Amino acid sequence: MCGTGQLCPYTGTNSPFPETFWGAKLLSRLKAYSMIFNEKTGGQLREKGLPGIYDLKKIWHPSWFQGNRRKKNYFEGWYFKLVSHDLSQAWAFIPGISLNNADEHSFIQVIDGNTGKTWHYRFPVNAFNFSKETFNVRIGANHFSSKGMYLSLNDHTGTFEGKVMFTNTTPFRASLLKPGIMGWYRYIPFMECYHGVVSMDHLISGTLDIQGQTIDFSDGRGYMEKDWGVSMPKAWIWMQTNHFSETGTSFMLSLADVPLIGKTFPGFLGFIHFNGSHRLFATYTGSKITSLKGSDRQVWLSVEDKDMTLEIRGEKTRQAIKQIEQGALKAPVSGQMSRIIHESMLATIHVRLTSKQGNILFEDTGQRAGLEMVGDISLLNKR
């Protein structure tokens, strides 16, 4: 069994990277980035026995790996968004794990925000490693944490190598009554899908060698979130941007068809973070979606609570519409990565926040936005 401070794979074997499989070159890279990040890992997948301290602590740390006791029909993935200082480059990296009887594996997906092209790198399940002390995940020679990411992806489809560091992260704070952005829904043990926000906005630095081209992310901005559970919803709208006129401003909204006890309902959660604080809008806070309209290119929403009204317009650029079939992301169904979806990173999101007295508290348009409209959006219009 893995002990604290050891690098242990999902299966709990003594060596997660035997030389006969990975080779000496990979082992040397592992040592190199271990020195860079200097974080301990020691988690074990398919853990047995009575719940321990980690099982309790992870509830209030949604960024941590949540699936240490899951055996099948389970997925977990993190979303790392990187945008260069001049907005000319936007990339997303999605490390994760898929547990099921048919095709279990760990993976890293990549999105080129300019072209829409995607890459899907597969790894054995036991290439997945996680920390029991902090958010720290390794897949093969690739490392992801709240401090940064190290990539060493190289096959016939493409090359991604380098290191990007994160500073001034803006985590979504957890509490007893609100253990993350899902609020008290986080305590329900049989939800189809859970959502967590790791950092609403942060500064990034470093370079990545992508297909032989060195991309400099110095003074860029990043965003991190995650999903875990059994399946992604039948239908959802997700939008996010942290590239407004004022640095540090960030917005995210997720609206989905949520199954619960034999019925479904349109559940949503989101935030607008500006001037050093955030305003939360969610089903569990009593907020309501009063208007929803959508097309292939645009979506309009209005959200209200007892104090404020949030009006949102998300729009994909014409370039994004043209590239929609360029690349495809794999999404989970009962733990299997068998569903194909598309995400645009060439969208804009206009946000206006007003008080009930009609005072405009915030209004701006965010650039380099991520926008997903998946499934039958009419399912989200039930009120």
Does residue 248 form part of some domain? Answer: yes
DSSP 111-136: EETTT--EEEEEE-GGGEEE-SSSSE
Does residue 70 form part of some domain? Answer: yes
Letter string b/e over residues 257-283, b meaning 16 or more CB atoms within 10 A of that residue's CB:
bbbeeeebebbbbbbbbbeeebbbbbb
Does residue 8 form part of some domain? Answer: no
Beta bridge partners of 153: 160
Does residue 1 form part of some domain? Answer: no
Does residue 107 form part of some domain? Answer: yes
Q: Is 55 in a helix, a strand, or coil?
A: helix
**DSSP state letter for 179:** S
CA angle 269, 285, 303 (to 5 degrees): 60
Does residue 336 form part of some domain? Answer: yes
Does residue 4 form part of some domain? Answer: no
pLDDT value of position 325: 57
Please give the Cα distance from 62 to 198 (Å, whole number). 8
DSSP 72-88: SSEEEEEEEEEE-TTSS
Q: pLDDT under 70 in the chain at which residues?
A: 1-42, 320-327, 383
pLDDT value of position 18: 33
Helix (H) or strand (E) holding 321: helix 318-322
pLDDT value of position 47: 85
Structural domain harbouring 124:
19-381
Q: Phi, psi at residue 14, to the nearest 5°?
A: -65, -35
Total count of domains within the chain: 1
| pLDDT tens track for 151-208 | 999 999 999 999 999 999 999 999 998 999 999 999 999 999 999 999 999 999 999 9
Please give the Cα distance from 368 to 308 (Å, whole number). 26
**DSSP state letter for 230:** S
pLDDT value of position 9: 47
Give the global pTM: 0.90
Q: Of 43, 38, 39, 36, which Cα lies nearest the Cα of 16?
A: 43
Residue 377 CA to chain centroid, in angstroms? Answer: 21
